[in-house]
A = this chain, B = another copy of it.
């Protein structure tokens, strides 16, 4: 496999690695996500990466392949494999390609991802997750993906992180959501409370508990986080199941606590290692 630059180019962040003989030789990380690149500015933005990491072919994944990015790289339908992603690469310059996203659709129900697919399938390719797995990528838009025989067969996106931010920044209960979110009694109480299936009432309970002095306001944010993450996990995880989590340590700890409280098991996977394994395999398939 010839040397190349791998880029995980998201909405607000950009990570790039120089890969030599299948191994990382150098890397960079900055805030030049696609929102920081003006329309028509991607050739120049890519040149800046090469100026830093070397003049090599470039293989990109993430929102850079959306209609707000360099070019729309489309979607590969489920069941999706690394082979299908490699076959669907969108060439945007002489030596630059973008990995397509993945879509699923059934009637009026559908879902899309862009960037996560390289991590998910890369984790399996690298042996960080088994060929049959339930995987989760927490965040603003939390992805839950089912892998069968190494293929991404179905997935769902929950707006868990976005909803937390909306409530904190704009809802009446947001006034009390100023405390730190950590795994503790308030978070666990929220996870337990999420089992009653009345999320919108449980959320308003934060206001009532504050008015009546039933809960310390400092605990409200952790309680709401427990409610939302608990609801999210209950909808996706079965008792006794194992979830492979591609998450940073803070969110990973919260999801692990919620998953274990529901009688399932969580295993943390290094998401950067998973991405690199996936994109290196796509590069091999392309060559």
Contacts and interface: CB of A to CB of B under 8 A. Distances in A.
Interface of A: 103, 105, 107-112, 141-142, 144, 156-160, 162-163, 166-167, 169-173, 189, 196-201, 203-205, 207-209, 211-212, 214-215, 228, 231-232, 234-236
Given A112-B208, A208-B112, A200 B158 contact: yes
A215 B163 contact: no
Contact of A162 (B111, B171, B198): B171
B159 A109 contact: no
Give the dominant DSSP class at A's interface: helix
Contacts of A163: 171, 200, 203
A50 B114 CA distance: 63
24 contacts: A105-B214, A108-B214, A112-B212, A141-B172, A142-B200, A157-B204, A157-B207, A159-B200, A159-B203, A159-B204, A160-B200, A162-B171, A163-B171, A163-B200, A163-B203, A166-B166, A166-B171, A197-B197, A197-B234, A197-B235, A198-B232, A198-B236, A199-B199, A200-B231
Contacts of A207: 157
A200 B231 CA distance: 8
A79 B142 CA distance: 42
